Chains A and B, each alone.
Chain A
């Protein structure tokens, strides 16, 4: 094995051949690999970066033409920064901002199907064009009796096409993440389940109200009211939150106190959800937050909520204890419970992965290890990326075809990556609280 080029171990020819059968990007990605290997024979120094660049381009082009779930998967992958090489990330982050809007006649039709009335008949005013795009819908601004509403309308056929879109994404995902299909499916099922939930606007209204009620007592947070009578499976009506999106707000150079206040509100919000409610708004995307007067944080869009199972919760969060506080046996047990390592691993693999995960945990848990933490330090994030990069390039890691980590970790990791990255953008210095049982 060691005589063949390393990539050959991961992309069996049959896979390349099979890839060419897929339409669009599938075929193109396969083609890129073939091209890459052909070139590599001639010029062995060819970098893999170039191949990634080509692949990302083609995959992105195809994905951006799909609506709904494929876009969502792209978004999700783009958030897990350590999971993907640089080139993929850049393209997939673009996916978050491009979606062709619904035509107004279709919005009217959606209303007529749901309520038997046109939007103009239901509200005093209704903006014919969308004021904001979400990946599976778009937001219109409406007024009635002096109140302003945000009305989210879902694209037709999204729920129906989630599963079929995912089937199209799977082959890319196997190749992108270099996992075998069986292991991958374990995660894909989790993703599919969450995506299907996101298309259920009735569930979203119910959860939004639940979480908003449970978190309203936290300082500097604001939640819109939801109007179930004006909402259906395809439409959500809520209060319009006046304010600026996070990115706009940051452009106006807010003071350090204000940034800390927003950062702290964000931290408290997630702390309360994870440790008390055991269900969490798992989509900390900058577009889901609005900064309002008096410097409060407005929270919109509860499409993606992850319920945290109790046994997973205990194991996962035990890991944020300082390493020295966990003994070897406890750590081993947790690693097994969370599927980081398994009986199928060779002793060498076990030792290697234990080392890797310990290093990752020590780094990712660092904010919890002190009373306060300054998320403005880019050097900390640089360390995370460097570690992620180093691991993903490591031969041992790449050759292991096993999925690692519990499926529940997928969305929890995503939530924390998102949260850290938001706090970094805010440059916030905050006091990092821990749950009582870990203190």
Chain B
């Protein structure tokens, strides 16, 4: 396989090759390669060639995350029903598809993150590109939700929703890492419940009426 590819190295292929080899190495040994030098050697590649694509293993891990996101998006948009979904259903669909994608890489992710006590502490660089793409996705959802009035427009606060959703994503990921139920059913339930809660909170509810009333009282003093 590798020999055939080597004869015709386009940038994209090398990128994928690096990602695959890195995942493979983590899967086989349970840890990251010792050095970029060693790793490049195993790929029959010069070290400086590696650096044209990634500057460190951090970057490679980020690349794996990015590809998980891309694949999730592709799979999700391929579903016929997706176009008719409400923002809430779109978010649910994203998480369910994402968990499916993560499942394919579970051993790799466990090897890297199982011992992490808190995923938020993972170097931001590693998930930066995943996060940025996710935030952009979340932003369109929030926008759509506001237009259809499923999300209450609250000054300053509603701008923070994508960030809040990112925390939810981290929560779900950690929940899934620790999940031992058959077919990760508990994660399914966790997704369903947490998304329901989020949309209940950000929809127009008692809090809005309370502030509206408080404002009214203040102004009529």
Interface residues of A (CB under 8 A from B): 100, 102-106, 108-109, 112-113, 118, 120, 128, 155-157, 160
Contacts and interface: CB of A to CB of B under 8 A. Distances in A.
A113 B183 contact: yes
A156 B85 contact: no
A109 B100 CA distance: 9
Interface string B72-94: 00000001110011001100110
A155 B191 CA distance: 13
Given A100-B196, A113-B183, A160-B181, A106 B80 contact: no
B80 A118 contact: yes
26 contacts: A102-B192, A103-B89, A103-B92, A104-B85, A105-B93, A105-B96, A106-B96, A106-B191, A106-B192, A108-B93, A109-B96, A109-B100, A109-B188, A113-B183, A118-B79, A118-B80, A120-B80, A128-B81, A156-B186, A156-B188, A156-B189, A156-B192, A157-B181, A157-B186, A157-B188, A160-B185
A103 B79 contact: no
Contact of A106 (B100, B181, B188): B188
Interface residues on B, range: 20 to 34
Given A100-B196, A104-B89, A105-B89, A157 B189 contact: yes
Contact of B81 (A102, A120, A155, A156): A120
Nearest to A121: B80
Contacts of A156: 185-186, 188-189, 192
Contacts of A112: 100
B49 to A, nearest CB: 40
Interface hub of B88, B93, B189 (most chain A Cβ within 10 A) = B189
A108 B100 CA distance: 13
B191 to A, nearest CB: 8
B89 A157 contact: no
Nearest to B180: A160
A126 to B, nearest CB: 9
Q: Which 6 residue pairs spanning A and B have beta carbons closest together?
A: A105-B92, A156-B188, A105-B93, A157-B185, A157-B189, A156-B185
Contacts of B182: 160
A118 B81 contact: yes
Contacts of B85: 104-105
Contacts of B188: 106, 109, 156-157
Nearest to B89: A105
Contacts of B183: 113
A190 B188 CA distance: 29
Contacts of A103: 88-89, 92, 192, 195-196
A10 B79 CA distance: 59
Interface string B165-199: 00000000000000001110110110110011000
A109 B185 CA distance: 11
Contacts of B189: 155-157
B192 A104 contact: no
Contacts of B196: 100, 103
Interface in B125-167: none
